[in-house]
Chain A
Amino acid sequence: MPHIDLPAGFPGISAGLTYRPETAKPMRELAHILLHEPNSLTPGERELIATYVSSRNDCHFCQSSHGAAAACHLGDASVVDKVKADFQSAPVGDKLKALLVIAGKVQQDGKLVTPADVAAARAHGATDMEIHDTVLIAAAFCMFNRYVDGLGTWQPRDPDLYAQMGKQLAEEGYVAPSIRQPVGAH
């Protein structure tokens, strides 16, 4: 049960965002720019970074919804599971692997990122902007995950709900709510 009186039937972050529209607006905009707007990293790659960080933070709602969005962009759900389990052996590019190393360190503590980590990403073609966005996506999901978990939000276990949400996030992005009305009793 949520720690505060959040609107019923809104899963995960949608409850917090609906409860407090003033803070929801910049949070939605940030996610939209980082994950959905044009970028030299594909939307699938960026959603994988978000999913990986959320998985390491053990946030069920965020890793499921962003995992579903990543699967939608990539047309392949098995890649998402492989990245969560062991990205070094996943069928993704070496550049993305190097960026996931950086993201994993930011998830723990930004100070753990070394010049060698950054040089490795550059050696595989990562630009300064891609390194910046990787650090900020990882940092932002350390916020989103804590927000979702810290309020004790309702995090359903129904995979169909996430598949539907992922499709909508992949197609429309983050500015408009993906959950517009309560999604059933809980």
Chain B
Amino acid sequence: MPHIALDPDKPGIRGAMAFRPETARPLNALVEVLLTGPSTLTRGERELIATYVSSRNCTRYCHSIHGAIAAVHLGGDEALVRQVKTDFMQAAVSDKLKALLAIAGKVQQDGKLVTAADVEAARAHGATDLEIHDTVLIAAAFCMYNRYVDGLDTVQPDDEALYRERGKRVAREGYVTVSEEYLGAAAH
């Protein structure tokens, strides 16, 4: 049961955001820019970074929903998403993404763990400064979203079908648009 009076019909971060629309607006705006805005990283790659960090933080709601969204962008390949969560070095993703996931994994623990060698490895596989910046910020931001979802003890269902359905909609419409259903005019 959530630690505070959240709407039980809104699982995960949705219940928390509906409770406090003022902070929900920038929280949604940030994830929208990072994961759906213009970028040389594909939406699938960015969702995989978010999924991987959320999986390492053991936040079921976040790694399930972002994993589902990633799968939509990756042609429905749920096995690839599972492989990235379990051991991304063995996954069928590019060397550049593997190097960025290594950076994201360090940021998930502590930003100070990122070394010049980690960054050099990403550059050697073609990563740009902006891609490295966004990787660090996606990883950092999901350390926030995950703690927000877990720290309020929000409802985190274990029904994969629920995330699969929701994931299709978020992938199609984006974060700000789907948030309007529980934030109303406050989303803008």
A-side residues, CB < 8 A to B, are: 1, 3-5, 16, 19-20, 22-23, 25-27, 29-30, 33-34, 37, 57-59, 102, 105-107, 109-111, 113, 115, 118, 128-129, 131-133, 135-136, 138-140, 142-152
Contact = CB atoms under 8 A, between A and B. Distances in A.
Interface in B1-59: 3-5, 16, 19-20, 22-23, 25-27, 29-30, 33-34, 37, 57-59
A110 B30 CA distance: 21
Contacts, number: 151
Contacts of A110: 59, 146-153
Contacts of B130: 20
Contact of A105 (B134, B140, B145, B151): B151
Interface of B: 3-5, 16, 19-20, 22-23, 25-27, 29-30, 33-34, 37, 57-59, 103, 106-108, 110-112, 114, 116, 119, 129-130, 132-134, 136-137, 139-141, 143-153
B127 to A, nearest CB: 10
A149 B111 contact: yes
B141 A143 contact: yes
Given A34-B23, A132-B20, A150-B139, A113 B29 contact: no
A7 B173 CA distance: 34
B137 A132 contact: no
Contacts of B58: 109, 111
Contacts of A106: 147, 151
Contacts of B20: 129, 132-133, 136
Q: How would you classify the secondary structure of chain B's contact residues: helix, strand, loop or mixed?
A: helix
A33 B22 CA distance: 7
A29 B4 contact: no
B30 A27 contact: yes
Contacts of A146: 107-108, 110-111, 136, 139-140, 143
B33 A113 contact: no
A43 B111 CA distance: 27
